[in-house]
């Protein structure tokens, strides 16, 4: 890959002071929440400052890095809507730069051979220090840093070398990454100085993401895959908004807001050093707010893939889904929840046994009979159906909610669901009467739960 360095990782000072950040994932597994948050914070700050974000693929580990994982990283960025500047930089194509830097250290005595590997000679005195915008001044006594490997016995450069060389060569001004990499930073700073650099990037080590038990998110214990949340029906806009809140908060306290406003307000200096708790309930609440911003057509388009996965939904067009959108949009928090909420409108409902037992106690049978008779003649609109059932409730001395419970279960199969009267209007008179008849027959066949 072309480079304007001198072959040892030294690069002339950039002609501009515009911030230049890098998102540097290792393509060794599925992108997870922490990876996505790091990408986002780099992107937010770059866009906030009018700077650039470089995508650097740290694929030097040939055994673990795969093309499939690289594609998944690109897919993640595309789904989240995070663009980057220029072409991706692949560390696997930059081995000559790393080798040149290591040879320079060997020649100068700053590194030495050790059992087939090359180690960097850490000074025995002094401290290696740097300023971190999240954590303040960070210092490591050099005596606590052992001589570390810069070239493995197989001839490949280590993570530390590639980072130091590339950050200098690419003119990176800000290094924003996870707290778990904090302890590797002094080694990179030492190598950077050994390359002749007189400065260091501005560091920002982001807080850990923890679960509700305040334990670091773990692939073995927690659902950390970004793909999992996409497949559950989290909108990318909602995921970006929520990830922005994991360690940062807007100064005015308004958490759900357009991305352009987040970019305008975001500053790495405002990132909190305390661990950030991932809360699925809050994520789904944020997602619900974004879903409510969609119009009928937009909501229909969003739920369409999940509906088409169901046998009853394979042939549904977007117009039909637009009609039902107002019924469920307000209470939907994940797109994957939508099919179960509207299935009764397009297929015979599956009767929930517990809901049936709870709703069909006396005088439920009499209410069903009366509703069946009155629904034959009432004007088939939500308002008229509402008035009709209210009158029935008054005759039986019941509140409307109590009277409509058996009707709801007969129509939808469940005690909880979309607004009943609007659902009846969409379902149509004939289908509604058929379901009331079926419920009455079942009740006569099985008896009332109170019998």
Q: Which residue has the tokens 């991305």?
A: 259
CA angle 142, 146, 147 (to 5 degrees): 105
Q: What are phi and psi of 146, to 5 degrees?
A: -75, 155
- Whole-angstrom distance, CA of residue 308 vs CA of residue 317: 9
Bridge pairing between strands 127-132 and 136-141: antiparallel
The conformation of residue 32, written as its DSSP 8-state character, comes to B
294: helix, strand or coil:
coil
Return all residues near 282 (Cβ < 8 A) that are at least 6 apart: 242
* CA atoms within 13 A of residue 242's CA, in its CB half-sphere: 27
The conformation of residue 127, written as its DSSP 8-state character, comes to E
55: helix, strand or coil:
strand
Instruction: Work out the number of other CB atoms within 10 angstroms of the CB of residue 398.
Output: 15
Return all residues near 120 (Cβ < 8 A) that are at least 6 apart: 105, 110, 111, 147, 148, 149, 150, 160, 187, 190, 191, 194
- Burial status of residue 275 (CB atoms within 10 A of its CB: 0-12, 13-18, 19 or more): middle
Judge contact between 207 and 249, C-beta under 8 A. no
Query: Which of 236, 225, 176, 231 shows the shortest CA–CA distance to 204?
Result: 176
Give the helix, strand, coil percentages of the chain, each rounded to 5: 50, 10, 35
Tell me the two tokens of residue 245: 């809140």
Largest alpha-carbon pair distance within the chain? 99
Q: Please confirm, yes or no, whether 282 is among the known catalytic residues.
A: no
Task: Check 212, 215, 219, 282 and give the catalytic one.
Answer: 219
Q: Which residue has the tokens 């929930």?
A: 352
Separation in Å, CA 289 to CA 252, 286, 330: 18, 5, 9
Give the residue numbers annotated as catalytic, written as ranges: 219
């Amino acid at each position: 890959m072309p480079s304007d360095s001198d072959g040892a990782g030294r690069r002339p000072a950039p002609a501009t002071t515009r911030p230049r950040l890098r998102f540097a994932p290792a393509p060794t597994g599925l992108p997870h929440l922490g990876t996505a948050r790091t990408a986002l914070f780099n992107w937010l700050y770059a866009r906030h400052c009018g700077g650039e974000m470089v995508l650097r693929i740290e694929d030097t580990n040939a055994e673990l890095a795969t093309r499939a994982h690289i594609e998944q990283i690109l897919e993640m960025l595309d789904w989240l809507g995070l663009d980057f500047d220029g072409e991706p930089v692949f560390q696997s194509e930059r081995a000559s730069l790393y080798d040149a830097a290591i040879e320079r250290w060997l020649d100068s005595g700053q590194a030495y051979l050790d059992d087939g590997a090359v180690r960097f000679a850490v000074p025995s005195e002094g401290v290696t220090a740097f300023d971190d915008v999240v954590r303040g001044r960070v210092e490591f006594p050099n005596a606590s840093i052992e001589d570390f490997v810069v070239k493995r016995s197989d001839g490949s450069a280590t993570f530390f070398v590639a980072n130091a060389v590339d950050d200098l060569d690419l003119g990176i001004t800000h290094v924003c990454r996870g707290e778990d990499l904090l302890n590797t930073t002094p080694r990179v700073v030492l190598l950077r100085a050994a390359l002749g650099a007189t400065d260091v990037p501005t560091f920002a080590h982001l807080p850990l993401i923890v679960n509700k038990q305040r334990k670091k998110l773990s692939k073995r214990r927690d659902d950390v895959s970004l793909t999992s949340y996409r497949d559950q029906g989290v909108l990318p806009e909602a995921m970006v908004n929520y990830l922005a809140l994991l360690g940062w908060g807007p100064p005015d306290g308004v958490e759900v807001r357009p991305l352009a406003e987040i970019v305008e307000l975001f500053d790495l200096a405002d990132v909190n050093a305390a661990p950030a708790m991932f809360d699925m309930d809050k994520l789904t609440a944020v997602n619900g707010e974004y879903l409510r911003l969609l119009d009928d057509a937009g909501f229909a388009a969003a739920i369409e893939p999940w509906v088409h996965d169901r046998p009853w939904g394979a042939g549904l067009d977007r117009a039909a889904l637009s009609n039902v959108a107002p019924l469920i949009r307000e209470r939907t928090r994940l797109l994957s929840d939508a099919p179960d909420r509207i299935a009764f409108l397009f297929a015979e409902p599956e009767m929930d046994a517990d809901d049936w037992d709870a709703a069909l106690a006396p005088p439920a049978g009499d209410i069903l009979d009366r509703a069946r008779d009155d629904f034959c003649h009432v004007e088939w609109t939500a308002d008229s159906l509402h008035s009709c059932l209210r009158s029935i409730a008054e005759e039986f001395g019941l509140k409307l909610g109590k009277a409509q419970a058996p009707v709801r279960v007969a129509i939808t199969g469940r005690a909880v669901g979309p607004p009943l009267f609007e659902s009846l209007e969409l379902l149509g008179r004939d289908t509604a009467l058929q379901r009331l008849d079926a419920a009455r027959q079942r009740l006569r066949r099985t008896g009332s739960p109170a019998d």
